[in-house]
């Protein structure tokens, strides 16, 4: 196959984030911004169904988009059988997410390509820190009683403080879903604002667990409250719910991000998580971000995938682009 300069299709820098926007400091609670939000489910589903059908990304452009997707992955292990060993292997994959021979064929072997972050439980932060030393790859920790969030606020705040002290530079919190389902928006704002304060300089990604919020209107309102309270990112799911990231839910959250920026000037990031396993799905989410929010949200300071298996399929697709053949999964081990 003739060489194609992927860098001419998309200028990718190593772990691609360029922090050129002000951090979301939040705004005072304003019920008027929330009470009139109503979502037309049928219209959302119609729009979501067109994503990936109106825009086709092929050949070197597809390869470039997939390389960009890699830089936006929060490479994650959140299993009951996690050990220091598999965290170290995951971190090794985070540092070199694509085989060197593939990168060389793509003329990308000089770009120091890495994932956006590594995401682990609190007790494995120290192992991730050792394994990632010198890489500048952020460490994200799930906190606040992940995944259910059924602990007291005091316990949630303590967990955040401990994770930040241990070395996490990003904290993925979970909200109290009951506060959404009962419409206690001011209390939800107060909890999230206190968690944001506990994070300090660590960036806070607020998980809405959208599969448990009942309606798209609740998703939209919870998104707005989370941003008002100072969230740096809003995230769809823990990955542990029966329904996780979907395009309709993502569309609703993204449009709330756009509305919040129009109201305040603050840019808030977005992270779909759970169930995104294929390169094709990754392209659909990238297309959604580009169409709804623009190119600025195609960088990992404003967009992340929460994923554990996605990288394997992306690497296989890149090898297919280079060789014209699909390889076996075992040639692209995750850990």
Distance, CA of 41 to CA of 81 (rounded, Å): 39
280 catalytic residue (yes or no) = no
Instruction: Please give the backbone phi and psi of residue 209, each rounded to the nearest 5 degrees, phi first.
Output: 50, 60
DSSP per position, 101-162:
HHHHHTT-TTS----SEEEE-GGGHHHHHHHTTTS---EEEE-SSTTT--S-HHHHHHHHHH
Describe the strand order of the beta sheet including 170-174 as a list of residue ranges: 269-271, 233-235, 203-207, 170-174, 139-142, 117-120, 73-76, 305-307
Residue 199 CB contacts under 8 Å (≥ 6 apart), including other chains: 160, 164, 171
- Exactly one of 156, 221, 267, 271 is catalytic; which is it? 271
**Token pair recorded at residue 7:** 């860098």
172 is catalytic: yes
**Running DSSP on this structure, what letter comes out for residue 300?**
T
Q: Which residue in the list 74, 172, 301, 313 is annotated as catalytic?
A: 172
Contact between 143 and 150 (Cβ < 8 Å) = no
Tell me whether residue 271 is one of the annotated catalytic residues. yes
The answer for residues whose C-beta is within 8 angstroms of residue 257's C-beta and 6 or more apart is 223, 227, 234, 267, 268, 270, 293
Q: Is 41 within 8 Å of 142 (Cβ atoms)?
A: no
Of 93, 156, 205, 235, catalytic: 235
Write out the catalytic residue numbers.
172, 235, 271
């Amino acid at each position: 196959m003739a060489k194609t300069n992927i860098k001419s299709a998309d200028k990718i820098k190593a772990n691609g984030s360029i922090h050129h926007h002000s951090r979301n400091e939040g705004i005072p609670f304003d019920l008027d911004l929330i009470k009139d939000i109503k979502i037309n489910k049928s219209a959302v589903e119609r729009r979501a169904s067109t994503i990936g059908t109106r825009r086709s990304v092929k050949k070197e452009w597809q390869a470039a988009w997939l390389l960009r997707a890699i830089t936006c992955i929060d490479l994650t292990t959140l299993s009951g059988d996690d050990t220091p060993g598999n965290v170290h292997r995951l971190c090794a994959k985070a540092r070199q997410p694509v085989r060197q021979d593939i990168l060389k064929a793509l003329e990308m072997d000089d770009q120091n390509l890495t994932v956006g972050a590594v995401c682990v439980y609190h007790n494995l932060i120290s192992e991730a820190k050792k394994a990632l030393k010198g890489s500048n790859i952020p460490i994200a920790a799930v906190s606040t009683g992940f995944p259910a969030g059924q602990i007291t606020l005091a316990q949630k705040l303590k967990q955040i403080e401990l994770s930040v002290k241990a070395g996490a530079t990003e904290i993925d919190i979970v909200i109290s879903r009951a506060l959404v389902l009962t419409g206690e928006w001011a209390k939800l704002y107060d909890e999230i604002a206190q968690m944001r304060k506990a994070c300090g300089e660590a960036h806070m990604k607020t998980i809405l667990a959208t599969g448990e919020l009942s309606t798209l209107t609740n998703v939209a309102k919870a998104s707005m409250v989370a941003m008002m309270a100072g969230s740096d990112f809003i995230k769809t799911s823990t990955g542990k719910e029966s329904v996780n990231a979907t395009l309709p839910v993502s569309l609703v959250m993204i449009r709330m991000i756009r509305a919040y920026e129009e109201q305040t000037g603050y840019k808030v990031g977005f992270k779909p998580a759970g169930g995104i396993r294929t390169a094709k799905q990754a392209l659909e989410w990238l297309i959604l971000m580009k169409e709804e929010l623009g190119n600025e949200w195609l960088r990992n300071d404003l967009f992340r995938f929460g994923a554990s298996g996605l990288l394997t399929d992306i690497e296989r697709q890149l090898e297919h682009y280079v060789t014209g053949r699909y390889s076996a999964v075992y040639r692209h081990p995750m850990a």
